[in-house]
């Protein structure tokens, strides 16, 4: 086994097609807006600057990571599933660097001057294999469909069956998902976010991304929309920042590419800061909220030097693209 080496099963394309069909059902309508099936509730879209360290080690100087380089960026903060910020959930941080030259890997959108990083506030994911991921999605997406798109006899029956199957046949996966989303938080700016999945960083080198919030933790919110309030209250008073860095794979057995349930840092991989993400003092606005709904994020909106690795990322390429296309078609003007 080599560093940064993927292992792609022969039936993966069929599994991804099944994932795509299941996930398209989770897109839901809020008024005239088609909402994401996952991370549908955003707390805000902030403008920022992503500046690469001047003293970046040469081994990490690939792609957008060039010493002293600075990019404008947009950062979307979100809940994974819940509409009530007081509930336990996973929280997301999606970063879009702007003015990034070069052809990107995302089919059909390679000419866009963007580079995306997608992170959550958990260092690990909850399924170790594509088979587990497909099974969980098959049984969990009917619950999302019911919750978001309304009760019909068919949806009720599918959701009840899905819940029973998760509880009986996939109990360990369900418990792992609950652990991953088992936190109550007080501010999106105070969290540690992780890619959970690996990426190339130049030839033959794999990394995971990590962003460490430098804002003090205020304790779990007591309000339904408390994370939005905490975000914009803090940014209304002054800037906030994150230390952004990489966790570098140095042992392919202890830090596997295809199993995102493994915490590489716990297994000896080192974290190295590569950039500072700064969100200057700013206020929310209607156009920011509107853009947060329509903006697309995909890990394959990426330079080849940062190519996504592993089965989760290979599935995201087509699933995220199809879901974004569907949201665009269903969202109505005004």
- The 3-class SS string of 126-177 reads CCCCHHHHHHHHHHHHHHHHHHHHCCCHHHHHHHHHHHHHHHHHCHHHHHHH
Name the pairing type of β-strands 28-30 and 42-52: unpaired
The Cβ-side half-sphere exposure at 248, using a 13 Å CA radius, reads 14
Classified as helix, coil or strand, 330 is: helix
For the chain, give the mean pLDDT.
95
* pLDDT per residue as tens digits for the range 229-283: 999 999 999 999 999 999 999 999 999 999 999 999 999 999 999 999 999 999 9
Assess whether pLDDT exceeds 80 at residue 123. yes
Mean pLDDT of 123-134: 94
Dihedral angle sign, alpha carbons of residues 143, 27, 193, 220:
negative
Chain centroid offset of residue 14 CA: 23
Query: What pLDDT sits at residue 139?
Result: 87
The pLDDT > 70 percentage for the chain reads 100
Contacts for 268 with CB less than 8 Å, ≥ 6 apart:
250, 251, 254, 255
The pLDDT > 90 percentage for the chain reads 83
Mean pLDDT of 3-22: 94
**Token representation of residue 118:** 């997608």
Chain centroid offset of residue 131 CA: 21
Are 327 and 27 a contacting pair, CB within 8 Å? yes
Query: What does residue 125 show for φ and ψ, rounded to 5 degrees?
Result: -95, 180
Q: What is the DSSP string of 226-264?
A: HHHHHHHHHHHHS-EEEEEEEEE---TTTS-SS-TTS-T
Are 70 and 50 a contacting pair, CB within 8 Å? yes
* pLDDT per residue as tens digits for the range 94-113: 999 999 999 999 999 999 99
Q: What is the DSSP string of 34-56?
A: EEPSSS-SEEEEEEEEEEE-TT-
Cα separation of 305 and 66, whole Å? Answer: 12
Q: Which residue has the tokens 């205020």?
A: 218
Assess whether pLDDT exceeds 70 at residue 38. yes
* pLDDT per residue as tens digits for the range 142-190: 888 777 777 888 888 888 888 888 888 888 998 999 999 999 999 999 9
Mean pLDDT of 302-328: 96
Tell me the domain boundaries of the chain.
12-126+185-330
Cα separation of 270 and 60, whole Å? Answer: 13
CATH entry 2.40.180.10 includes domain 12-126+185-330: yes
Q: Which residues pair with 119 in a beta bridge?
A: 93
Query: What pLDDT sits at residue 138?
Result: 86
**Token representation of residue 334:** 């005004």
Query: What does residue 63 show for φ and ψ, rounded to 5 degrees?
Result: 60, -130
């Amino acid at each position: 086994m080599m560093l940064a080496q993927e292992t792609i099963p022969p039936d993966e394309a069929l599994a991804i097609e099944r994932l795509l069909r299941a996930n398209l059902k989770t897109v839901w309508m809020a008024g005239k807006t088609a909402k994401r099936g996952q991370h549908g509730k955003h707390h805000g879209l902030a403008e920022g600057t992503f500046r690469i360290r001047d003293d970046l080690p040469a081994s990490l100087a690939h792609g957008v990571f060039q010493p002293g380089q600075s990019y404008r960026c947009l950062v979307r903060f979100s809940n994974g599933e819940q509409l009530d910020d007081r509930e336990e959930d996973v929280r997301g941080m999606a970063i879009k660097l702007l003015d990034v030259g070069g052809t990107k890997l995302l089919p059909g959108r390679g000419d866009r001057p963007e580079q995306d990083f997608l992170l959550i506030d958990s260092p690990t994911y909850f399924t170790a294999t594509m088979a587990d991921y497909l099974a969980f999605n098959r049984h969990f997406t009917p619950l999302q469909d019911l919750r978001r798109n309304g009760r019909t006899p068919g949806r009720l029956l599918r959701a009840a069956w899905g819940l029973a199957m998760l509880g009986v046949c996939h109990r360990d996966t369900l418990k792992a998902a609950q652990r991953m989303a088992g936190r109550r938080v007080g501010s999106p700016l105070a969290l540690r976010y992780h890619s959970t999945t690996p990426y190339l960083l130049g030839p033959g080198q794999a990394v995971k991304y990590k962003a460490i919030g430098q804002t003090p933790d205020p304790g779990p919110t007591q309000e339904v929309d408390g994370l939005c309030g905490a975000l914009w209250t803090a940014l209304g008073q002054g800037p906030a920042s994150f230390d952004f860095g990489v966790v570098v794979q140095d042992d392919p057995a202890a830090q596997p590419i295809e199993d995102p349930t493994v915490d590489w840092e716990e297994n000896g991989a080192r974290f190295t800061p590569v950039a500072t993400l700064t969100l200057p003092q700013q206020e929310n606005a209607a156009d920011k909220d509107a853009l947060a709904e329509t903006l697309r994020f995909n890990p394959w909106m990426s330079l080849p030097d940062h190519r996504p690795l592993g089965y989760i990322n290979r599935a995201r390429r087509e699933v995220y693209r199809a879901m974004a296309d569907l949201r665009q078609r269903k969202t109505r003007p005004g």
